[in-house]
Amino acid sequence: MAKSKEDVVQEFRVQSIQEAAIRVISRKGMAAATMQEIAAEAGVAKGTIYLYFRDREELVEKTFETAIGELHKRLDAALDREGTFEERLRGLMTAQFTFFNENREFFRLYHSLRMPEGSATQQRRQKRTCQPQFRARVDRLAVVLKQAMDAGEVRVFDPQRLALFVIEGSIALVLERLSEDAPPPESEDIEMVVSTLLSGIATPKSKRSSH
């Protein structure tokens, strides 16, 4: 059975509203984004939103899930390529930098959900539904690290923790880039992260005389 006409309309509305929500939240921030403004941005009345989403909370949650799904697709694509550990790491970083560069607006939403605000119940719920999304993001890198550790290509640490460190550190770089007028080429930042990670920042005098 193909999509009925109603389904198409429904899908269109949901999508319009979600896109509007991302735009408004990006512009104003999570706290200052009102249902009224989201509705206006989507070109519908406030009440209409409530035909498609139970309440503001559900709208934000669903919107975030949709948006982060796109990010995950990109990261997975980067990770599915074969190659050495270094190549895959570099690919992952590139995908991340590129995605956030193309979706600058999404960034604020991303961070607003990272550190939830609002009532205790809201916070708990937000945590329950959004935390796994962030975790999944870290996990993707952790898996790659684990493989490399098992293969002996990389020193053994807790892969989760190392992944966390790298992801968040590089997010800070993305954030910095967004606020700069003329950021250096992406490749420069990626290079710094990858090569620091691989061989450290100490000058390699240890190659000759290992202390």
Binding site for DNA (CB under 7 A): 5-6, 9, 13, 32-36, 43-48, 50-51, 55-57
In the list a second copy, DNA, none, the entry touching 134 (Cβ below 5 to 8 angstroms by class) is: none
In the list a second copy, DNA, none, the entry touching 124 (Cβ below 5 to 8 angstroms by class) is: none
Q: How far apart are CA 31 and CA 44, in angstroms?
A: 21
Q: State both tokens at 142.
A: 């952790």
In the list DNA, a second copy, none, the entry touching 51 (Cβ below 5 to 8 angstroms by class) is: DNA
Q: Nearest 5 degrees, angle CA 106-CA 108-CA 112?
A: 120
Count of residues of this chain found to bind a second copy when the rule CB under 8 A is applied: 50
Q: How far apart are CA 62 and CA 15, in angstroms?
A: 11
In the list DNA, a second copy, none, the entry touching 209 (Cβ below 5 to 8 angstroms by class) is: none
Q: How many CB atoms lie within 10 A of CB 3?
A: 10
Kindly tell me which of 34 and 123 has the beta carbon lying closer to DNA.
34
> Where does this chain touch a second copy (CB under 8 A) — which range of 47-55, 56-64, 65-73, 188-196?
188-196
181-207 per-residue burial string, b: 16 or more CB within 10 A, e: under 16: eeeeebeebbeebbeebeeeeeeeeee
State the DSSP H helix or E strand holding residue 52, giving kind and residue range, or none if neither. helix 46-52
How far is Cα of residue 155 from the mean position of the Cα atoms in its chain?
27
Minimum Å gap between C-beta 140 and a second copy is 16
Kindly tell me which of 99 and 110 has the beta carbon lying closer to a second copy.
110
Q: How far apart are CA 117 and CA 95, in angstroms?
A: 29
Kindly tell me which of 51 and 178 has the beta carbon lying closer to a second copy.
178
Kindly tell me which of 2 and 120 has the beta carbon lying closer to a second copy.
120
Residues 6+ apart with CB under 8 A from 103: 67, 70, 71
Binding site for a second copy (CB under 8 A): 28-32, 108, 111-112, 115-120, 123, 145, 152-155, 157-158, 161-162, 164-173, 176, 184, 189, 192-193, 196-203, 206-207, 210
